[in-house]
Structure 1
């Protein structure tokens, strides 16, 4: 379910002190019911990347078009990535986060981990259009029954006019094709993992 930006900004996440100059673009609840200590399992699920979880033909086609377009226009060269065009957000981390767990990089999507805590994980990517952060938080269910679930926020810093136009251009595709398919895939994989582990 898509949520208002305040569902992210009103929580005391550590990412606020690190990426305050980024815009919160999207916030989504994830269909990943669990207990208070299950963020690590969700982070481990993400380890394999995100493109593989998009099972719908439309979502897969949109990802394929994006990567081909990026290759054609030279948007995704290493020189435009983290450590190239932009410095890594790890350079901004306070000592406790820098010395704590980093979390995994994603193998099939260009995100590198920034930090991981008991209830937060942040990973970043950059190309010629944007510097982006995927933030996964672990939150209590609203019904107060003791359950928890994941919440994903996408934060971006567009790279000038190109980045601003790019973000505006892909917005309808994100909402109609990419995010719904991605979130369904995350939920299916989560439930399969729960069934495999014998979780109730």
Structure 2
């Protein structure tokens, strides 16, 4: 066997997954083993370079890529957490505003109807008999038209937000999904940082 062939075989033997011994494709950057999906390199957030697990600093930008990853994802998770807490607070106020509006739709027409019932005893014409129903209908229309504005003013949230609550809720759900992904990345970089420190310090 030629010396060059021996070198090739040795190089292939080195490029194997330490977990399942699967031969790793050396063409391009491969972060995971294609067979067992084990993480083989750590991505540098600063310059997007895949680095060996053995390296302390990034081979391209010389940053401590594990610490940079932890700091970056910690900031992202903290920001998303703050935004979501603010959304949950506003969501509680919005649900309260909806409850108040529904309550007023029932109470206002009922009260106006009861206030108009004495007309049944004192009126001799049809309009007097229909007055309680007219008052109840007017009260219902008033709440229907202005109820959301009154409710949002009562609970102190902007009316514009209440009118566009569905897109806001969808955006919050996307933020929740993004936060879960960021937390997974943060856990990964924390584990890599702890593993590296345990091995080398």
TM-score range, shorter chain: under 0.3
TM-score (norm 2): 0.23
TM-score (norm 1): 0.23
Higher RCO, 1 or 2 (CA under 8 Å, sep at least 6)?
1
Structure whose CA Rg is larger: 2
Higher normalized helix content (fraction of residues): 2
Higher normalized strand content (fraction of residues): 1
